[in-house]
Structure 1
């Protein structure tokens, strides 16, 4: 049996979605973020030394971390030809690219925006607040926002080549890309000005497996 160590409002939601797409049975062990720090609880370190989610374990003693590695491994072992393009095809190259792009390129500017947003809204001594807000505002305007625009424009253009990121068929790359694009919709400026990305979000949210994963995983803050 596969067990997903599931942290609320985290990347582990897409692992639940993958398992629903594959039709595999699984158990969930739930963890809640610290409401002040928003960090994972220390109990997760008992499962994996980094103490982050997602982590997947199996009855055979396998421990898998990192969303891309989990998605790739589960599809290789259980996909039976589903959710990944044929090896050696042009779509397979795109599939691998987007599996890595999601965390390697798309997420860093979104994380920086989250950090600087929190700096602007955090409580601090009154004499520090103006300086902190000025630095955060300049960083967002001069670096973070331009980078977000570049990436969103790039992804919008790439979806002009097909309905899904790896080509004409839905794959694990779309599952991997869900977290950065839902984060971009929630706090990164993704809106109706990029209709292909918005239509892609509508398509993934309409998938029955996606809806089942939400029911099992519980409230998902990126959608609120």
Structure 2
């Protein structure tokens, strides 16, 4: 386990965080989104690194010493420990007043929808494809049966991004950060590619952001970018 030194950047005047944020970060995982979020917010934080078991690709047992679920990410803010990427992102939005929806109308509704849609609807189908692909003999057949369900979601995302630049409207929000991991995973697992140009352009756009690049450099191995 390695510990990354904290960044030293000024906090927003609205921020009431402890300034001792620690991210328990697993390679090739959802926790990469949290590093990106913190870089966008310019908050100081430390990274504690954990590596997947090379045989099982599961998180190491050391993470259970941090939280009973043994999952990543975990955000420590003083004595507080938070899990679930969406909940952590909403916590940071509430504390800083940044990366939230631009208005209280349709933008707010879209923001809330995609904050939950990323893990509630899109990601489970991708995980199902991954699990089925590892089943001997019948795995390939099962994946082909799941693909149409995934395509429904990818077509929906393409329709949304063809109509506006970001998931909640004209400005990037935490909803875009939440949507990044499943869509990056879809490129490698579910055939997301040039046939959905708006989605691919969105991925290219987020990958070009300085905060995203910095988070990638600090986070270590991440095969989906």
TM-score if structure 1 supplies the norm length?
0.89
Match of 2:166 in 1: 164
Structure 2 counterpart SS, 1:88: coil
Of 9, 18, 24, the match for 1:5: 24
Pick from 86, 92, 104: which aligns with 1:74? 92
Match of 1:65 among 65, 83, 93: 83
Measure the CA separation in 1 of the matches of 2:214 and 2:105. Answer: 31
Aligned residues between the structures:
206
**What do residues 44-78 of structure 1 show as CA deviations (whole Å, max 9, x unaligned)?**
1111110000100022x010000000001011102
More divergent stretch after superposition (188-197 vs 85-94): 85-94
On the 8 A contact 2:102/2:171 being kept in 1, the answer is no
For 1:217, the equivalent position in structure 2 comes to 219
SS in 1 for 2:56: coil
List, as ranges, runs of 4+ consecutive aligned residues in structure 1 with deviation greater than 4 Å. Answer: none
Equivalent position of 1:105 in the other structure: 121
SS of the residue corresponding to residue 222 of structure 1 reads: coil
1:193 paired residue number: 195
Alignment-derived partner of residue 31 in structure 1: 50
Larger Rg belongs to: 1
**Is there any run of 5+ residues in structure 1 with no aligned partner, and where?**
120-131
Greater fraction of residues in helix: 1
- The structural deviation recorded for 1:160 is 2.1
Specify the alignment match of 1:127 in structure 2: none
The CA deviation at 1:219 is: 2.0
Corresponding residue of 1:96: 112
- Contact 1:161–1:167 under 8 Å retained in 2: no
RMSD over aligned Cα atoms: 1.1
Q: List gaps (5 residues or longer) in structure 2.
A: 1-19
Preserved contact between residue 133 and residue 142 of structure 2 (Cα < 8 Å): no
Deviations 1:3-30 (A, max 9, x none): 0000000000000000000000000000
Alignment-derived partner of residue 62 in structure 2 = 43
Mean Cα deviation higher: 153-162 or 16-25: 153-162
